[in-house]
Chain A
């Protein structure tokens, strides 16, 4: 088991190098000189521009820039963004906010998705099942920004139940509406996944055996149906945490959440390579770690699964 975990951690190294290299290259290939853009419509003062280019290593060829960036990572100094602030500090500000948002969305989609999916699966073909299926189809069909604006306007502005944009502190309470919007799409997937899985397991031999043994309906559902049905759902949720963090850009834009997405959006527009790469790299690492966690959860859910080293 521990060898397995160690192996998985070692795999992160090439992933990390590959991700930084690719993202750095993508940002490097973006057309336009970020320093020229800093001057806006104003004439570019070449002396100032040259000085700034040197400061951000923009006068170096690609490989040199990338190696300097790697060096800065290993010395625990990620460099500075254009406003002269350490990128590490920027990451420290934005990630907690987005993590809060993504985890809230994950809890929302997991709890509601699994509960609704389970009920729908157990009452296959009944009214509840049909309603939930149609509703989830609608949610999957509508793009997230349409849902976002819609809920912002109706719940935030017209009904006044929630703030249309989050307050400066981005508290849990402020983030409820954005988290629901962010989690809605995945909620529908979790629901459908749970439902299908539950229906499959209801006809399984061991469920029939359990019922024949005289176990109560509740015990059959909890131990034999639900637990076995959760494996595909957990896989999806694990992968989704990474996707939620990276995919929060649209939601963060609509509700003005001061998180990763907002900062990344600005960094891409202004061509701040190191900021973009640092943010995306952390996202990639989170994605990998949540996948590792999912793989370890399998063993707990289904003892037949073993980790070979």
Chain B
């Protein structure tokens, strides 16, 4: 129960403050696919307060991301299965995987009437990448030539040399090196165009964003900490046309109260059923629920800078840990089927996914083999019996405690070593130790895809020196295999190469894949036609009244 604990902590801060003040008081008390349905309904959905102003390149969390995705349209968007479909793009052509020519559709406009041209895209991307604008998602442009110069600390360069406007409808992109899956990324919200006013006054724009997507923000629609009102954009004519009269995101501080709201029909769609309701939501909601895997997973990263976990012994130990975890049991008992046991490092909804990559046996529960591997590792380098293996997690959100405890018990029972869960009070503390490489044990790591591609689960996390490489994994053979995948002539060849690269990971196990995420949501009896996308977010534009 997350807020009882925090409120206690906050209470302590408040009491400390009050005690010091000496105010004189003594003792203070303290369903999918089908069509039809009512299109005049405004859909009430749950949301969270965006962390930053609503600028596409400055938004990297779900609360703001959901809104940006609905009020903007980029070159492509993803269909429910994760396949890119053209929105503004007429064509995206590139033969060598490094040089692309992008043509955009004619007569496209932002809701303020400004025309969308090739220049809109180039200016928006340059703005996102330039260090002086400090945009949180600027890293998405890193593959483009000239990104390094523009994004360096203190840089005054405001444009990337790899972007060139040819005419109103055409621009070209040159990447630093060939990356065959680059066009796949273009559906991510950082790549949408923004009107010229946004670049002059990003902060003001972020309060009242003007986009080109299936929805637009209602006048005064963003009531901070309360709700965000979106209304359909009548001029939008892409694949995500709104089938309702608007979507209002009610901002909830915790999922439990959102669930109570849903039960009394005050809320129409709840994206994620809270852990506390997993046992009875099916009887509460009947068939108004969904259970659908999406592109996300959960792993435990074990840093190789820890002496016990480096070299051959470390590798054997990681294999032992992996085989000592009974994923089937945890997904069934703890999660009630809200997770699926992992068979690789990616996610099953992705194009090119395979559940039988060589080495995936290492992810199967096998107590005997686990013990054997552990003993073998001990022969190389003795494990100090007094040492405790820790699994760190953040206790502020996500409900990780239950499964970490379960994994801890399984490891204890199978391997007979000391294991403990190590809670961090907040996500930011956990991230701090992870990025500073000062972890003293393993840490839970989750990955949610930004764009539907196998590479997104491999490159940014396990390549040598990659930004999210918490495990400090460095293996030139793996790096090479991933580059081969990026250089492949076609997407399917690329996918094959990526799965080859995964064979290396499945042996080395820099992180131990646990399970795939499954979206479990529910809706009220006032709406119908609810389905979720590849990323576990409801397809709000498709929802209608009953």
Interface residues of B (CB under 8 A from A): 1, 3-4, 6-7, 9-11, 13-14, 16-18, 20-30, 49-53, 60-61, 131-132, 134-139, 151-155, 203, 206-207, 223-227, 250-254, 256-258, 260-261, 263-264, 266, 396, 425-432, 435, 445-448, 460, 466-468
**A-side contacts of B1, CB under 8 Å:** 145
Known contacts A26-B13, A94-B225, A242-B18; A164 and B257 CB within 8 A of each other: yes
**A-side contacts of B155, CB under 8 Å:** 47
**Shortest beta-carbon contacts, A-B, top 10:** A43-B467, A37-B428, A32-B428, A32-B429, A51-B134, A47-B153, A164-B260, A47-B131, A239-B25, A32-B432
**A-side contacts of B448, CB under 8 Å:** 41
* Interface contact A93-B225, CB-CB below 8 Å: yes
Known contacts A39-B136, A258-B251; A168 and B260 CB within 8 A of each other: no
**B-side contacts of A153, CB under 8 Å:** 260
CB of A79 closer than 8 Å to a CB of B = no
* Interface contact B428-A265, CB-CB below 8 Å: no
Known contacts A165-B260, A168-B223, A262-B225; A51 and B131 CB within 8 A of each other: yes
* Complex alpha-carbon distance, A244 and B139, angstroms: 45
* Complex alpha-carbon distance, A82 and B51, angstroms: 6
Most chain B C-beta atoms within 10 Å of own C-beta, residue among A19, A30, A40, A252: A40
* Complex alpha-carbon distance, A236 and B266, angstroms: 37
* Complex alpha-carbon distance, A246 and B446, angstroms: 35
* Complex alpha-carbon distance, A142 and B109, angstroms: 58
* Complex alpha-carbon distance, A123 and B139, angstroms: 73
* Interface contact A287-B21, CB-CB below 8 Å: yes
* Interface contact A152-B139, CB-CB below 8 Å: no
* Interface contact A250-B3, CB-CB below 8 Å: yes
Expressed in whole angstroms, the minimum distance between the Cβ of B152 and any Cβ of chain A is: 6
Q: Mark A280-307, 1 if CB is under 8 A from B, else 0.
A: 1001100110010001000000000000
* Complex alpha-carbon distance, A36 and B155, angstroms: 21
Expressed in whole angstroms, the minimum distance between the Cβ of A261 and any Cβ of chain B is: 8
* Interface contact A164-B49, CB-CB below 8 Å: no
Residue pairs across A and B with CB atoms within 8 Å: the count is: 240
Expressed in whole angstroms, the minimum distance between the Cβ of A100 and any Cβ of chain B is: 14
**B-side contacts of A283, CB under 8 Å:** 14, 17
Excluding A243-B30, A247-B30, A253-B257, 7 further A-B contacts by CB distance (< 8 Å) are: A42-B139, A45-B139, A83-B53, A84-B203, A235-B25, A249-B11, A291-B24
**B-side contacts of A22, CB under 8 Å:** 16-17, 20
CB of A67 closer than 8 Å to a CB of B = no
**A-side contacts of B432, CB under 8 Å:** 31-33, 36-37
* Complex alpha-carbon distance, A112 and B25, angstroms: 23
* Interface contact A47-B152, CB-CB below 8 Å: yes
CB of A85 closer than 8 Å to a CB of B = yes
User: Which chain B residue has the least Cβ–Cβ distance from A153?
Assistant: B260
* Interface contact A48-B136, CB-CB below 8 Å: yes
* Interface contact B21-A32, CB-CB below 8 Å: no
CB of A52 closer than 8 Å to a CB of B = yes
Expressed in whole angstroms, the minimum distance between the Cβ of B357 and any Cβ of chain A is: 24
Expressed in whole angstroms, the minimum distance between the Cβ of B449 and any Cβ of chain A is: 11
Which of the candidate stretches A204-212, A213-221, A267-275 sits at the interface with the other chain? A267-275
Known contacts A250-B7, A269-B396; A90 and B224 CB within 8 A of each other: yes
Most chain A C-beta atoms within 10 Å of own C-beta, residue among B17, B50, B155, B446: B17
A156 CB contact (under 8 Å) in B250, B260, B426: B260
Q: Mark A80-96, 1 if CB is under 8 A from B, else 0.
A: 00111100001001100
* Interface contact B225-A33, CB-CB below 8 Å: no
* Interface contact B135-A268, CB-CB below 8 Å: no
* Interface contact B225-A39, CB-CB below 8 Å: no
CB of A117 closer than 8 Å to a CB of B = no
Expressed in whole angstroms, the minimum distance between the Cβ of B298 and any Cβ of chain A is: 12
Which A residues from 8 to 42 make CB contacts under 8 A with B? 15, 18-19, 22-23, 26, 30-34, 36-42
CB of A264 closer than 8 Å to a CB of B = yes
Most chain B C-beta atoms within 10 Å of own C-beta, residue among A22, A83, A271: A83
* Complex alpha-carbon distance, A264 and B253, angstroms: 11
Which A residues from 142 to 175 make CB contacts under 8 A with B? 143, 145, 149, 152-153, 156-157, 160, 163-165, 167-168, 170
**B-side contacts of A33, CB under 8 Å:** 428, 432
CB of A308 closer than 8 Å to a CB of B = no
* Complex alpha-carbon distance, A60 and B156, angstroms: 24
User: Which chain B residue has the least Cβ–Cβ distance from A37?
Assistant: B428
**A-side contacts of B29, CB under 8 Å:** 185-186, 189, 236, 239-240, 243
**B-side contacts of A255, CB under 8 Å:** 257
* Interface contact B17-A47, CB-CB below 8 Å: no
User: Which chain A residue has the least Cβ–Cβ distance from B223?
Assistant: A168
**B-side contacts of A143, CB under 8 Å:** 4
* Interface contact A26-B445, CB-CB below 8 Å: no
A160 CB contact (under 8 Å) in B4, B134, B151, B264: B264
Expressed in whole angstroms, the minimum distance between the Cβ of B464 and any Cβ of chain A is: 13
**B-side contacts of A2, CB under 8 Å:** none
Known contacts A15-B22, A243-B28; A40 and B61 CB within 8 A of each other: yes
CB of A223 closer than 8 Å to a CB of B = no
* Complex alpha-carbon distance, A235 and B25, angstroms: 8
* Complex alpha-carbon distance, A203 and B47, angstroms: 59
* Complex alpha-carbon distance, A92 and B254, angstroms: 23
CB of A263 closer than 8 Å to a CB of B = yes
CB of A55 closer than 8 Å to a CB of B = yes
CB of A122 closer than 8 Å to a CB of B = no
Expressed in whole angstroms, the minimum distance between the Cβ of A178 and any Cβ of chain B is: 11
* Complex alpha-carbon distance, A8 and B430, angstroms: 45
CB of A227 closer than 8 Å to a CB of B = no
**B-side contacts of A263, CB under 8 Å:** 225
* Interface contact B30-A256, CB-CB below 8 Å: no
CB of A71 closer than 8 Å to a CB of B = no
* Interface contact B264-A264, CB-CB below 8 Å: no
Known contacts A45-B139, A185-B29, A291-B23; A270 and B428 CB within 8 A of each other: yes
- Show 6 residue pairs from A and B whose CB-CB distance is below 8 angstroms, ordered by the A residue: A19-B17, A36-B431, A42-B139, A47-B134, A84-B206, A284-B21
* Interface contact A265-B253, CB-CB below 8 Å: yes
Expressed in whole angstroms, the minimum distance between the Cβ of B499 and any Cβ of chain A is: 23
CB of A73 closer than 8 Å to a CB of B = no
* Complex alpha-carbon distance, A143 and B4, angstroms: 10
User: Which chain A residue has the least Cβ–Cβ distance from B204?
Assistant: A84
* Complex alpha-carbon distance, A291 and B25, angstroms: 7
CB of A44 closer than 8 Å to a CB of B = yes
